[in-house]
Amino acid sequence: MTDLTLTAPIYSATEGVLFSAYGLGSGYIACALSFEAGCEKLGAARQGSEPMLLAFKLNQPRITHAIANKPMPEDGQRIVLEARDFA
């Protein structure tokens, strides 16, 4: 599942950056990029919408790699990307 496409992100003041990932044979996967991951690992200067969305935009290859390495929930719940998901 390495050829994933990410949908446009939506900033949430309570959950971070919300988006979906999809790829051939994988369907849609609901995802969230945590504030912790955005600030500590992806370079967002703070938890505001502009820095978090910029970090999302600039780090899409790292984000897709992190999603590909996470176990997929069988119940369709959202995958939350935390700082530990990024090397």
Terminal CA-CA length for the chain: 18
pTM: 0.92
Confidence of residue 2 (pLDDT cuts 50, 70, 90): low
Pairing of strands 79-81, 16-23: unpaired
Domains of the chain with bracketed CATH: 5-85 (3.30.160.140)
**Tokens representing 39?**
């600030």
Task: Identify the weakest region by mean pLDDT among 2-6, 32-36, 48-52, 56-60.
Answer: 2-6
CB atoms within 10 A of CB 12: 14
Instruction: Collapse the DSSP code of 60 into the 3-class scheme (helix H, G, I; strand E, B; otherwise coil) and give the result.
Output: helix
- As a whole number, the mean pLDDT across the chain is 94
Give residue for tokens 């999603």.
Answer: 67
